[in-house]
Amino acid sequence: MILVLLGPPGAGKGTQAQRIQESRGLTHLSTGDMLRAAVASGSGLGGKVKGIMEAGHLVPDDVIVEMIVDRLAEHGSEGGVILDGFPRTTAQARALEKTLSQRGLKLDRVIQIAVDTDTMVQRIAGRFACEDCGAGYHDTNQPTKAAGVCDNCGGIRFLRRPDDNPKAVRARFEAYEAQTAPLLPYYRSQGLLRGVDGMRTIDDVTAEIEKALDAA
């Protein structure tokens, strides 16, 4: 199964992708995670995208497409893939179709996680992740069970994203509205789009996504 998760910043795409990856045995590919890894490693790609990401703007399509095509080739998409944060523009959506069709594959489902703006801002402002294993948490919605200790690996160092500040968050919403939201009618017209209510609990949203994946 080739699955795309669409939704504005803070909608819970990463959290849900992690869960669906486990339940369906899919490979989770997050362009945001790949870019953050490139920045952390100090690679040429990282140097190129660091400022763009911190400002909350979209990285140019050619950079993203090259990165994801390489990654799909590396992992082999045949076992199934869940794409989180890609595509984000119509040009990226077309590039995805092309690279899948070259492998005899096609996109099976696009899940839109819908939430309201105020909730998204609150979610983004409170989120953090374990520095060691990457497990995601939130100050109020999903705290660690023991204060300051990662539930998953016992790590005690946590990170907050540099683009989770108010100015960059605003820019990220603007980028979503202007460049990514047009993908909704695009995928709806192809019959691929299913919407889920991202305002519900994390477990409920996962259940809704599972249902949408099982429905024909």
Distance CA 203, CA 113 (A): 13
**Which of 21, 208, 33 has its CA nearest to residue 112?**
208
Q: Which amino acid is at 47?
A: G
User: Is residue 59 near ligand AMP by the rule CB under 6 A?
Assistant: yes
Among residues 149 and 171, whose Cβ is nearest to ligand AMP?
Answer: 171
Among 5, 7, 39, 88, binds ligand AMP (CB under 6 A): 88
**Which of 6, 51, 18 has its CA nearest to residue 130?**
18
Q: Which amino acid is at 46?
A: G
**Cβ atoms 170, 161 nearer than 8 A:** no
User: Is residue 85 near ligand AMP by the rule CB under 6 A?
Assistant: yes
How many C-beta neighbours within 10 Å does residue 177 have? 12
Active-site residue flag, 160: no
Kindly indicate which of the ranges 86-94, 140-148, 189-197, 203-211 contains the residues binding ligand AMP, using the contact rule CB under 6 A: 86-94
Least distance (Å) from ligand AMP to the CB of residue 162? 10
Alpha-helix residue ranges (DSSP H) falling in 58-165: 61-75, 90-102, 117-126
Distance CA 77, CA 58 (A): 25
Residues numbered 165-184 forming contacts with ligand AMP, rule: CB under 6 A: 172
User: Is residue 120 near ligand AMP by the rule CB under 6 A?
Assistant: no
**Cβ atoms 32, 146 nearer than 8 A:** no
Kindly indicate which of the ranges 85-93, 115-123, 139-147, 198-206 contains the residues binding ligand AMP, using the contact rule CB under 6 A: 85-93
Count interface residues toward ligand AMP (CB under 6 A): 17
Among 37, 45, 52, 91, binds ligand AMP (CB under 6 A): 52
Least distance (Å) from ligand AMP to the CB of residue 61? 7
User: Is residue 58 near ligand AMP by the rule CB under 6 A?
Assistant: yes
Active-site residue flag, 13: yes
**Cβ atoms 63, 92 nearer than 8 A:** no
Which spans of this chain sit near ligand AMP (rule: CB under 6 A)? Answer: 9, 31-32, 35, 52-53, 56-59, 64, 85-86, 88, 92, 163, 172
